[in-house]
Chains A and B, each alone.
Chain A
Amino acid sequence: MTLSLMVMPPLIGAALLALAGGRLGRKAIAVLACAAVALSFMAAVWTSAPLLATTYESMSSLSGLEFWPQVSTTMEGVPYVQEKLYEWIGVGSLRVNIGFHLDAVAALMVLVVTGVGLLIHLYAAGYMADDPDFGRFFCYMNLFVAAMLILVLADNLVLLYLGWEGVGVCSYLLIGFWYREPANGAAASKAFVVTRVGDAALALGLFLLARDLGTLRIDEVASGAARLWAVGDPTVTLVAALLLIGAVGKSAQVPLQVWLPDAMAGPTPVSALIHAATMVTAGVYLIARTHAIFLMAPAVMAAVAIVGTLTAFLAGCAALAQKDIKRVLAYSTISQIGFMFAALGVGAFAVALFHLMTHAFFKALLFLSAGTVSHALHGETDLHRMGGLRHGRALPGTAALAAVGVGSLAGLPLITSGFYSKDAILWASLQPPYGHPMILAGLLITAGLTTLYAFRWYFMIFSGSPGPASRGEVHRPRALMLWPCVGLAAGALLIGFLETPETLGGYHALGDFLNPVFAAAEHTVGGEHAGFASAEAAHTAELAVQGAAAAMSLIGVLLAYYFFVMRPAWLERLKQGAVGRLIEATWRSGWGFDEVYELVFVRPYVALAKLLRDEPVDDVVDAIAGTARFSSVLLSVTQTGRLRTYAGALVFGILLLLTIWLWP
């Protein structure tokens, strides 16, 4: 019992809440649910510690102790902790275990999932305190944490798929948590179905891998693929493409991003945990986990980078035009995951995970702040009706916390974690063989957009004069809702220093930890001097990229201040013009993907279903029955009971036969 100690507490918690939730009091439910995640977090620390100890000199004293789980190393020298529970499905030569595997990448994920998850559980205990379905909520939340941990820890792709579908179901259940509102149910079903389209592709990818490699263990898949296929082989390209479609669905990337904005129908802690910090990044994790496959398919790597960049840009624009406090953040999440995909696509897997981690902190923080704001304003979500909450007795604490989140999202230079992770992505996007200046350009523009919408959001809520909603009495947040945000804010400020660029100290705590897992990628990415002629040239280029990023961020803040605080009227005038109206409408609807899908998929399908509803196949059956009935009617007509009819028929028949017989 090592790694399963992480999965078991939330699983048992969910089961207990499902079976006995109705009989427990609110306090007991909250304590049970939070304790389960806390236990899981402790187990995550306990199992990750020896892995950390293998990386860092300062912790090496840990490694001798019996207390820690035993660490093994792969042939390539990657340390890991493993636990096999039992054989799950074994048919023919395919053996699928319920087995867990923790390496550096998984360790990072489990720490984020359980750590951020714990803070959000605590927040939710305050936020949901008045909800009648308190027990059901925490049952789903605990189940989600368990499924997410299974996804992360799975040592094979089938078990990963179990977690993958499990988090999808929990997402469905929690988006539709307030089930009396039909719109919530529609959003929930949409999320589940759209991601299932991606899952279907993922499943096909698994079938292909199983067919050709005879195994679905992640480590064996990686080594088997390298032996069986050459780089660029059509089969491995197809596998990678299918995995990518799965990742795109789960991580809400173009063209399957449409479900995430609607998913905001769920309670805010859900948005923070599932639709910002953890589940939506599962696609990033999947690609990082199966990077060996992706590295063998350069075409798909390029696709990953392009999808990421495109998504980042499109969603960044859309975020700029949203009215709803949470929809801005939803589009922002899509955009930020686009950054992670871009990083994956240029082969900078560790960098993508770095941004995943910083994003988990600052985006969860932003969502929880948004929840506090809505909570304070009695459920108001329209940004245009807010304002001035920074001042006086309103929400100064939340305003400060949100400022940290917004600054980190915008990547304010030097002091925020978002700066370091985004800068690392920008720098990586230039490096051969996968990088390209166009990707850098796209991401730089998006970085500017990010600052703009982030501060628009902040200013509209907290600055200026109070709006219609924020004028009245403001509901003060509970302490339980404030302290978790402080924890997240601390993370959003500090964890960026785990990995700093060469120009700012070159401290690589995170990279040293993660990179052994991506050793195969390290040989190909960057090369000497990151593809530049000399170390000096590389150094200059890196400085230039950082300068550009910092400038984008600062200019964005100034522009946002100018447009949304100093001259809001000017912007309103701009929006009145024909072009302005068109742009606003397009961006607000998220580039019209929903409308197109409605027209191309939803309506034809519903029409088809309606057409088939009454079972056309049965018409054939009815026709047979009808023929029988009709013949019976025809024949019974002849049974008149009158002699003359029979005699006439007899004569007619004889004549007919004679005619036929005598016909030449």
Chain B
Amino acid sequence: MSPQILTALIAVPLTGGGLAVILGRRSDDAARWVSLLAALLTVALAATLWFGFQETLPAAQGPVLEQRISWIPRYGIEFHLALDGLNLLFVILTACLGTVAVLISWREVTRAVGAHYLCIMATVAGIMGVFLAYDLFLFYFFWELMLVPMYFLIGVWGHERRIAAAIKFMIFTMVSGLLLLVAILTLYYAHGAATGNYTMDYTRLLGTQIGLSTARWIFLGFVAAFAVKLPLFPLHTWLPDAHTEAPTAGSILLAGLLLKTGGYGLIRFAVPLFPDAAASLATPLAVLGVIGIIYGAILAYSQRDLKRMVAYSSVSHMGFVMLAVAVWQITALQGAVMQMLAHGVATGAMFAIAGMIQERLHTRDFSELGGLWSKVPKLSAFALLFVLASVGLPGFGNFVGEFLILLGSFPVTPMLVAGGVLGIVLGTIAMLALMQRTFYGPSRNAAVIADLSPREVLALGILAVAAVVLGLLPQPFLRAAEPSLAGIISQSIPFNPADPEVGLDVLRTAAENTADFSLQPPSDPTGAEIAPASRVPVAESAVGLTGTNPGVTTESSPGSAHAIPASARAGNEETGS
């Protein structure tokens, strides 16, 4: 397959957006149709990739398709896009949600239609670039590129308090983005100084040897940007404002795609580039993730505004992704990918529904909603479906995601998993309250409103089918991501003993040998040999992990037992089969 298809994934939506502006001067409908065409073309490209690589994906740990164009050779910067199983899934999600966003704003937006579609399509293009970039400079370029049109989407086409929300969004993302830039540059110079090869290439920067304390700062620079996007408690406060004030298409892109760039960045860049630093900070990150799960669920329950409620449920759901990344085991990461896909679909749909209600009733306030089922049964039935998906009902993708994340994390940190399970229960309370306040009960609004139009049924139908497919047939997606994730994990050695059997068995030994919550499985002798000599000794990072005094010696650090007891391993082999 031609590698140009990767560039096309970015160029097609961008071109579509440009054409929308030009044609939009003549007619709004032309802008809509050309955007829809471009979006559908993007879906077709993504589908081509998906079906084209069905055979090769399960075998390939690295990229299956790469495009390199020399860009600024003096600084080692290339236009380098690459596709593997991991980002392919996100590319598909982006293409699909982009189409949904176009369909959803068909009637909602009447002002500066062409520019609106340009913003949507430019955001989609930027997100595509973020997912595909294999050059850190290019990555940063797309990272900033996707923010600008989003800023305008919120600020121009948003609701009542759109300006404040847009500025808040911009400040949060810009500040964290600058930290990312500083981190990238520091890494660039550190790598250059160590090897004499100044490059922004992701694959070459992997395995850069940096002292733990420096690495931690650079890692935190990456994490700052990604955690704001994810969003990680307590950096989430831009999200409810931005989601609430954004127009429907903006909310869908934000919740469905922009948040995923944070999770993707953590998995693709932050942890693999700085495995030691990540290990040493895993505990606080995991704890923050679980706090976010619970906190988001509580806040969701307490909201008075439909969109804010969905926004906080996003905070809750994305906390699971942070937990998985902190635990850094294949099962949990598989779950994180599923969680992000499923959350994009289900929460995107919830925002679409909120937008449809707003469009009809001109309110999102629960005190003015209620009893909608009797008025708009189709819309309500769709809402019920996505509410059930959001509470993690088996049969929907969210369940697969949460289940795998918790399953993978349990051997490492049972207490935090228990916290996550508590968060699911609290999330259920919130989502049932949403259902009750909006669709059940007596009607509080006399307005006569229309049920879904065929276009809306189509948009929600796509998402409904996707949610169920992710829930009942997740295996193709899991299989697609598995080799890439395994490859990424093997590149971040300190996390994982070099055990050929990656999976539950590894988790189990990790859990058995760590009395305390330690995210670092004791490396077995082979693993220690593979680790580069300059890497920080295992004991040191384990100390940081378990949160004990840095002066503690190896003997007293619970997470640092070096050898796995033979009996435990034997037990594994016996029972694991």
Contact = CB atoms under 8 A, between A and B. Distances in A.
A474 interface: no
A612 B428 CA distance: 18
Contact of B504 (A158, A193, A214, A618): A214
A197 interface: yes
Interface string B458-490: 000000000000001111001100100000000
Interface centre among B299, B374, B377 (most CB of A within 10 A): B299
A620 interface: yes
Interface in A85-133: 86-94, 98
Contacts of A609: 298-299, 301-302
B432 interface: yes
Nearest to B393: A165
B240 interface: yes
Interface stretch (B31-39, B266-274, B400-408, B551-559): B400-408
Contact of B425 (A89, A161, A193): A193
Contacts of B508: 211-212, 214
Most buried by A among B240, B304, B504: B504
A94 B441 contact: no
Interface in B191-246: 233-234, 236-237, 240
Contact of B440 (A90, A182, A204, A621): A182
B529 interface: no
B237 A94 contact: no
Given A18-B381, A89-B404, A179-B440, A227 B574 contact: yes
A620 B234 contact: yes
Given A161-B394, A185-B440, A91 B478 contact: yes
Interface centre among A180, A224, A615, A621, by most B CB within 10 Å? A615
A204 B503 contact: no
Given A91-B334, A210-B407, A617-B237, A166 B394 contact: yes
**A166, A181, A618 — most chain B CB neighbours (10 Å):** A618
A30 interface: no
Interface string A175-211: 0100111100110110011001100100110111011
Contacts of A608: 298
B562 to A, nearest CB: 22
B410 interface: yes
Interface string B437-450: 00111100000000
A207 B436 contact: no
B101 interface: no
B417 interface: yes
A213 B572 CA distance: 8
A91 B233 contact: no
Interface size class of A (residues with CB under 8 A): 35 or more
A197 B424 CA distance: 9
Contact-size category for B? 35 or more
A35 interface: no
Interface secondary structure of A, over-half rule = helix
B511 A615 contact: no
Given A88-B472, A179-B441, A617 B233 contact: yes
B60 interface: no
Contacts of A204: 410, 414, 417-418, 421
Contacts of B236: 617
Given A169-B388, A179-B373, A615 B407 contact: no
Interface in A278-337: none
A192 B432 CA distance: 9
A173 B301 CA distance: 20
Contacts of A186: 436
Contact of B475 (A89, A181, A188): A89
Given A189-B433, A193-B432, A179 B439 contact: yes
Interface in A145-161: 158, 161
B475 A612 contact: no
A286 to B, nearest CB: 15
Interface string B169-198: 000000000000000000000000000000
Given A158-B403, A227-B574, A94 B394 contact: no
Contacts of A620: 234
Contacts of B301: 609
A612 B302 contact: yes
B395 A162 contact: yes
B411 interface: yes
B407 A94 contact: yes
A18 B461 CA distance: 13
Interface in A597-625: 605, 608-610, 612-613, 615, 617-618, 620-621
A227 B570 CA distance: 13
A93 B576 contact: yes
Given A196-B425, A608-B298, A89 B441 contact: no
Given A609-B301, A612-B299, A87 B475 contact: yes
A189 B432 contact: yes
Interface string A580-595: 0000000000000000
Contacts of A31: none
B355 to A, nearest CB: 23
Interface in B538-553: none
A75 B540 CA distance: 51
B576 A200 contact: no
A197 B436 CA distance: 20
B237 A185 contact: no
B507 A211 contact: yes
Given A89-B404, A166-B394, A613 B429 contact: no
A212 to B, nearest CB: 7
A615 B394 contact: no
B44 to A, nearest CB: 27
B422 interface: yes
A211 B409 CA distance: 10
Contact of A94 (B331, B472, B511): B331
Nearest to A610: B302
B502 interface: yes
Interface in B480-529: 482, 501-505, 507-508, 511
Nearest to A203: B421
B478 A89 contact: yes
Contacts of B407: 94, 206-207, 210
Contacts of B298: 605, 608-609, 612
B475 A185 contact: no
A203 B504 contact: no
A618 B171 CA distance: 14
A257 B507 CA distance: 37
B299 A615 contact: yes
B43 interface: no
Contacts of A206: 407
Nearest to B233: A617
A228 interface: yes
A93 B575 CA distance: 11
Interface in A57-75: none
A192 B421 CA distance: 15
Nearest to A173: B384
A182 B428 CA distance: 18
Closest 10 CB pairs of A and B: A92-B503, A162-B394, A609-B302, A207-B410, A179-B440, A214-B576, A613-B302, A618-B237, A189-B432, A200-B421
Interface of A: 18, 22, 86-94, 98, 158, 161-162, 165-166, 169, 172-173, 176, 179-182, 185-186, 188-189, 192-193, 196-197, 200, 203-204, 206-208, 210-214, 224, 227-228, 605, 608-610, 612-613, 615, 617-618, 620-621
10 contacts: A90-B475, A90-B478, A176-B440, A180-B440, A182-B436, A200-B422, A204-B418, A214-B508, A612-B298, A618-B237
